[in-house]
Amino acid sequence: MNHEELDASLDSFGDALASATRVTPGNALRPEDIAVAGAKPSDEVAQYALHLGDDALILAQRLSHWISRAPEIEEDIALGNIALDVLGHARSFLTYAGLAWDKTEDDLAYWREEEEFTSLQIVEQPNGHFGVTIMRQLIVSIYQHLLYSRLLESADETIAAICAKAVKEVDYHRDHAIAWTIRLGQGTEESAEKMRHALEILWPYTGEMFQDEELHSELGDVAVLPSSLREAWDAEITSVFAEAGLEIPKSGLAMAHGRAGEHSEHMGYILAEMQVLARKHPGASW
Amino acid sequence: MAPTTPQEPGLSAVPSYEEQQSQARFDALINDDSRVEPRDWMPEPYRKTLTRQVSQHAHSEIIGMQPEANWITRAPSLKRKSILMAKVQDEAGHGLYLYSAAETLGTDRDELNDQLLTGRAKYSSIFNYPARTWADMGAIGWLVDGAAIANQVPLCRASYGPYGRAMVRICKEESFHQRQGFEILLSLSRGTEAQKKMAQEAINRFYEPSLMMFGPPDDQSPNSAQSMAWKIKRFSNDELRQRFVGMIEEQVKVLGMTLPDPDLHFDEEKKQWIHKDLNWDEFMNVIKGNGPANAQRLEHRRKAHREGAWVREAATAYAAKQEQSEVA
C-alpha cells in the first residue's frame, strides 16, 4: 500500500475515528478516561495492550532524552512533541492493560522487572546520533501507523479508541521521519554515509516486528497479525529509501524476542534510569 | 538615493534634521504608551539594550531547559513525566519566539547563538544551580518560574511591540508552569517523611537564588533607570522582589513548609517586606561564570550544537539541491 492508498483507506474510517474520539471531544481519549470507563479487558487483551504500551513507553523514554540535545531548537521541540505523543499512547495502553490485573500505569511502568517488559528490541536501541534516531523513527512510525490504522477495526472498542487518537499523531511522526530520512540521505556525503550506517545497525531488529505470536491468533479480530503488516511496511519503507538514495542492507535479521521478555543489553540501563526514583520511595504518590 | 547627510564621520555626533525628527517621533510613541515596531526608527542604545535583554531572555529559556530535562527520564510517575516534557518543550518554544523577536531588531539567530556559545552573552544565573532532586522540579516551577512571571508580566506592556507580544503568550504558559511546580511540592508535602524533607530542602536551596533573579538592589542597578524611561521595564528590581516575596510567603503556608528566612516580616511602617540579606557576592560570582553548573550548562549547549552540525549542513545542502532542481 502506498501513501495515497493508505490515506484513502484511513478516510474510510472517518466514522470510526469520530466515535472513537467522542469520549472527550477535542481532547480524544486520555488514560484517566480509560481508567474511569473501567471496561475490564480479558487477560489476553490486556497482554496485547501491554505489548503496544511497552513499545510506546520504551520508545518515549529513548526519545525524551533528546530534549535539550537536538541539532536545532526546532528539533528539540519536534522530538519532544513526538516523545510526548508516544508517552500518551503508552499511558493509555498500560492503563487499559492494568485494569485486568488491578494495576495502574505506574505499577506497570515502574514495578515490573526487565523480563516482564514485552517491548520489541527495535525501540530499545540507543539513540546514537540524530540519523540513528531518525532511522529508528522511520522504521517504527511506519510500522505503528500501519498497525494502528488496522486496529481501528479491532473488535476491542478500547483498543480501537486508543488507536484512533494514536494513528493521527503517528501519521505526523511518520512525516517527520520520512522528511528527515530524505533530507539526510540526499544532503551531504557525510549525512548519506551516516544514514547508511544507521540503517545497517538497526535493520537486524526489524525482523522481530513481524513475528506472529500465539497470542495474536488467540485474540482473533481484536489484534492484527504482525506478519500481515510486512508487505505494506516493505513497500512504504522501500519507497522512502528510493527517494533518500538508501538501500535495504544485506545483513540478516537478529534473533530477538522482546515480546517474551528477552531484551538486549540496553534495556537494563533504560529501566534502571526510568525506575530509580519511584523505587526509592515504595508506596509514595507523586 | 543621493546622500542627504554630510559624509564626514565626525559630524555624526550631531544629529541630522531627519534624525531629530525621528527621535521626536520615537519619544512621542514612548510618551503615548504606544508600541515601537521593527520598522520604526529607534535610537541605537534602545535597539542595543533590547537586543541584549531579549536575547538574554531567549538564552535563559534554552539553558533553562537543562536542569529540568535532567529529570525527564527519571520522573517518578508517567503523568509527571508527561507534564515535565511538555513544560521543557514550552521553554524551547519560548526561546524560539524570543529569538524571533530579537531578530526583528537586526541581529540574526546564528549570531545570537554564537554569543551564547562563546560566553559573550549572559543568561539568567539561576540556571547555573543544579537540580539535585525531584523536588527541585517543584521548587524551580514555583519559585524560579514564579519570579520569572513577576518579572515578565509587566514586560507584556514593554514598549517594543514584538517583545511585548511574545511575552503575552509566554506569561500564559509560565503561569501554568508555576502552578505545576507548586502542585509537585503540594504532593510531596502530603507525602512520606522523605518526600517532605526533599521538598523543604529544595525550597531552602532555591529561595535565595530566586530572590536574586530580580537583579541587584535599585541603588546598584545601573541600567534600570534608562530601561524604565524607555518603558521596557515598568517596575524596579526591588519593587518586583517585594511583590514576589509577599506572594510566596503566603503560598508556602499552604504547603506547610517554611522559607529559609526566619526573620522575614512585613514592616508596617516602611510598608515593605524585610527579608534576609542576600548574598550578592555569590550572585556576582555565578554571573562571572563560577556557579556550580556554569561550565556544564555551556558545554551541554556547545555539545548539542557541535554534534548537530552535520545535520544542519545536510539540511542546508538538501534545500539548495531542491532549489536548483526547481530552477532547472
How is A156-223 classified by DSSP, letter by letter? SHHHHHHHHHHHHHHHHHHHHHHHHHHHHHHS-HHHHHHHHHHHHHHGGGGGGGG---HHHHHHGGGS
- The pLDDT value given to residue B317: 98
What is the C-alpha separation between B29 and B40, in angstroms, rounded? 10
Q: What is the pLDDT of residues B54-76, one digit of tens each?
A: 999 999 999 999 999 999 999 99
User: Is the model's pLDDT at A250 over the cut of 90?
Assistant: no
Instruction: Answer yes or no: do B314 and A76 touch at CB < 8 A.
Output: no
Question: Rounded to 10 degrees, what is the CA torsion of B156, B141, B146, B103?
Answer: -30
CA geometry: angle at A26 spanning A40 and A83, to 5°? 75
Which of A86, A90, A104 has the alpha carbon at shortest distance from A38?
Answer: A104
Q: What pLDDT score does B221 carry?
A: 82
Suggest the residue from B74, B81, B198 to mutate for an interface test with chain A (most A CBs closer than 10 A). B81
pLDDT above 60 for A16: no
Segment A103-127 shows an average pLDDT of 98
Output the CA–CA distances (angstroms, integers) from residue B123 to A284, B59, B147, in the order listed: 36, 6, 15
Report how far residue A5's alpha carbon sits from residue A138's, in angstroms, rounded to the nearest whole number.
19
What is the interface pTM, i.e. ipTM, of the complex?
0.92
- Provide the 8-state DSSP code for A40: P
Mean pLDDT to the nearest integer, A39-67 = 97
A38's grid cell: 473501567
Please give the residue of chain B at the shortest CA–CA distance from A83. B85
What's residue B233's pLDDT?
Answer: 85
Give B300's contacts (C-beta < 8 A, 6+ positions apart). Answer: A68, A69, B66
pLDDT confidence of residue A180: 98
What's the pLDDT score for residue A4? 52
Torsion of CA A190, A193, A195, A197, to 10 degrees: -130
Burial A190-228 (b: 16+ CB within 10 A, else e): bbbebbbbbbebbbbbbbbbbbebebbeebeebbbebee
Distance linking the first and last C-alpha atoms of chain B: 36
Supply the pLDDT for residue B223.
Answer: 77
What is the per-residue pLDDT for B4?
52
Amino acid identity, position B122? K
Q: What would the pLDDT profile of A153-207 be if each residue is shown by its tens digit?
A: 999 999 999 999 999 999 999 999 999 999 999 999 999 999 999 999 999 999 9
Query: What is the nearest CA distance from A86 to chain B, expressed in angstroms?
Result: 10
- Going by C-alpha positions, the residue among B139, B165, B138, B137 that lies closest to residue B152 is B165
Q: For chain A, give the percent of residues with pLDDT over 70.
A: 90
* Residues of chain A with C-beta less than 8 angstroms from the C-beta of B307: 69, 71, 129-130
The pLDDT score that the predictor gives to residue A190 is: 98
**Cβ-defined contact of A77 to B73 (cutoff 8 Å):** no
Residue A10 has pLDDT above 80, yes or no: no
pLDDT reported for residue A219: 97
Indicate the residue of B77, B85, B311 with minimum beta-carbon distance to A71: B311
Q: What angle do CA A178, A180, A185 make, to 5 degrees?
A: 95
Contact B122, B134 (CB under 8 A): no
Task: Dump pLDDT digits (tens) for B149-193.
Answer: 999 999 999 999 999 999 999 998 998 899 999 999 999 999 999
- pTM (2 d.p.): 0.91
CA distance A92 to chain B (A): 11
**What's the gap in Å between the CA of A97 and the closest CA on chain B?**
15
Range name among A24-28, A83-87, B95-99, B311-315 with the lowest pLDDT average: A24-28
CA nearest to A88 within chain B: B82
What does DSSP assign to residue A185? H
How far CA A231 is from CA of A1, A136, A215, in Å, comes to: 8, 19, 21
pLDDT-derived band of residue A27, with 50, 70 and 90 as boundaries?
very low
C-alpha cell at A98: 492494568
The rounded average pLDDT for each run of 10 residues, N- to C-terminus, in chain B (328 residues) is 56 83 92 93 94 96 97 98 96 95 96 96 95 98 95 91 93 91 97 98 97 92 84 89 95 97 95 95 93 96 98 98 86
**Closest Cα partner for B135 from B83, B182, B95?**
B182
Q: What is the mean pLDDT of chain A?
A: 91
C-alpha cell recorded at residue A72: 536545532
